[in-house]
């Protein structure tokens, strides 16, 4: 079962909860930045999160426009306008911050306010063209929440959700480059990066058209993790020759896509460490290299 499908199932279960039904039936859309009157902070936060999931799902399935007036229309329309107003406000805040480090801190603080809304959009399983979900996907990458970003990336790629106009790349190209860049940065610092996430992104975007240099970055990141897994703890001998050969193939593919991607030294190291490939006659005793007669 895919991650997106798990979220859709969770959404369907949430709709049956009495608290959610009351929020939707009442038509009241309280400010998501304020606690629910008369409720504890925890209970109010849970209720607002449930409401956001349901209304996001309703917005996705009814193709609600991103209207600027959140005082008119249906509950889903008002909630859609409100969440988009919040996004525009947060984007203006980010533009006023010059430090990349401080931008990331600000995004990390902003993200919880959108969590229930994007979960509702994912759960609805539609390709609504809107700015919130792909923006939050990118923010999750920026803040290092790669598991959370993968959930949204799967949805964006499966349903062909376009990126907001302010981005000059296609969704597949941006996802591949941002994840690969984060992985390579971590690897250069001597840290590991999830091979599962890298492989999943590679599979999801395998048929997408993008610059070869972008794809080469991802192949390099995958090959580095495969090579790391193939080596012993000291990094000087092979613990898994089969995985090492896979790493060799992946790194060779990266170099084929971009000669300057920077994998030559790793390929040379693997070439020295790997035993020569066995001849076909060694694999199959029935094949003889001795001339007949």
Secondary element (H or E) of residue 20? helix 18-26
User: Within this chain, do residues 197 and 109 fall inside the same structural domain, yes or no?
Assistant: no
pLDDT of residue 234: 82
Dist. CA 99–CA 180, nearest whole Å: 22
Q: Are residues 100 and 25 in the same domain?
A: yes
pLDDT of residue 210: 95
- Does any domain span residue 169? no
Lowest-pLDDT range, 69-73, 177-181, 248-252, 272-276? 69-73
The predicted-structure confidence for 198-255, as pLDDT tens digits, reads as follows 999 999 999 999 999 999 999 999 999 999 999 988 878 899 999 999 999 999 999 9
* pLDDT beyond 70 at 38: no
* CA pair distance 183, 221, nearest whole angstrom: 6
Examine the domain organization and report whether 197 and 266 are in the same domain: yes
Question: Are 103 and 192 in a shared domain?
Answer: no
Same domain (yes/no): 115, 200: no
The rounded Cα 60 to chain-centroid distance in angstroms is 20
Neighbours of 83 (CB within 10 A): 25
Q: What's the domain count of the chain?
A: 2
Q: What is the largest CA-CA distance in the chain?
A: 98
Distance, in Å, from the CA atom of 182 to the CA atom of 165, rounded to the nearest integer, reads 23
Asked, for residue 201, whether it belongs to a domain, the answer is yes
**Are 213 and 92 contained in the same domain?**
no
12, 82: one domain = yes
Question: Tens digits of per-residue pLDDT, 150-200?
Answer: 999 999 999 998 898 888 889 999 999 999 999 999 999 999 999 999 999
Does residue 148 form part of some domain? no
Whether the predicted pLDDT of 106 surpasses 60: yes
Close Cβ partners of 146 (under 8 Å, ≥ 6 residues apart): 140, 179, 182, 194, 197
Two tokens, residue 222: 């995958």
Of 54-58, 107-111, 185-189, 190-194, the range with the lowest mean pLDDT is: 54-58
**Closest C-alpha among 188, 94, 96 to residue 143:** 94
Domain boundary among 96, 126, 156: 126
Residue 145 covered by a domain: no
Q: Which residues contact 36 (CB under 8 A, 6 or more apart)?
A: 30, 43, 44, 47, 48
Residue 275 to residues 167, 228, 235: CA-CA distances in angstroms? 47, 18, 16
Q: Are residues 2 and 86 in the same domain?
A: yes
For Cα atoms 111, 90, 151, give the angle at the middle one, nearest 5 degrees.
30
What distance in Å separates the CA atoms of residue 37 and residue 44, rounded to the nearest whole number? 8
The region of weakest confidence among 16-20, 215-219, 260-264 is 16-20
What is the rounded distance in angstroms from the CA atom of residue 284 to the CA atom of residue 9? Answer: 51
**Residue with tokens 């400010």, as numbered in its chain:** 31
pLDDT (mean) for 127-143: 88
pLDDT of residue 278: 65
Q: Is 101 exposed, middle or buried (0-12, 13-18, 19+ CB in 10 A)?
A: exposed
Domain that includes residue 230, residue range: 185-276
What pLDDT is attached to residue 124? 79
User: What's the mean pLDDT when you consider all of the chain?
Assistant: 78
Q: Are 41 and 49 in contact (CB under 8 A)?
A: no
Q: Is residue 292 part of a domain?
A: no
What's the pLDDT score for residue 92? 96
pLDDT of 49 over the 70 cut: no
Strand partners, 231: 238
Q: Is residue 202 part of a domain?
A: yes
The arithmetic mean of pLDDT across residues 270-286, rounded, is: 70
Q: From CA 123, how far away is CA 11, in angstroms rounded?
A: 5
């Amino acid at each position: 079962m895919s991650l997106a499908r798990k979220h859709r199932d969770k959404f369907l279960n949430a709709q049956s909860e009495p608290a959610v039904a009351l929020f939707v039936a009442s038509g009241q859309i309280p400010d998501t930045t304020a606690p629910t009157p008369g409720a504890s902070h925890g209970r109010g936060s849970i209720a607002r999160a449930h409401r956001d999931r349901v209304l996001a799902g309703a917005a996705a399935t009814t193709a609600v426009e991103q209207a600027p007036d959140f005082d008119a229309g249906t509950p889903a329309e008002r909630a859609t306008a409100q969440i988009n107003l919040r996004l525009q406000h947060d984007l203006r805040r980010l533009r006023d911050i010059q430090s990349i480090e401080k931008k990331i801190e600000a995004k990390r603080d902003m993200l919880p306010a959108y969590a229930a809304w994007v979960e509702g959009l994912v759960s609805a399983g539609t390709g609504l063209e809107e700015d919130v979900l792909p923006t939050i996907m990118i923010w999750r990458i920026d803040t290092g929440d790669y598991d959370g970003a993968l959930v949204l990336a799967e949805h964006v790629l499966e349903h062909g959700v376009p990126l907001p106009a302010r981005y000059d790349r296609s969704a597949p190209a941006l996802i591949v480059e941002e994840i690969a860049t984060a992985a390579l940065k971590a690897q250069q610092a001597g840290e590991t990066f999830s091979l599962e996430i890298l492989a999943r992104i590679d599979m999801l975007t395998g048929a997408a058209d993008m610059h070869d240099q972008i794809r080469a970055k991802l192949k390099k990141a995958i090959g580095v993790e495969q090579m790391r897994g193939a080596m012993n703890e000291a990094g000087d001998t092979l613990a898994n020759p089969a995985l090492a050969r896979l790493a060799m193939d992946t790194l060779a593919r990266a170099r084929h896509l971009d000669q300057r991607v920077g994998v030559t030294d790793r390929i040379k190291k693997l070439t020295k460490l790997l035993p020569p490939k066995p001849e076909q006659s060694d694999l199959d005793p029935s094949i003889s290299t001795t001339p007949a007669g």
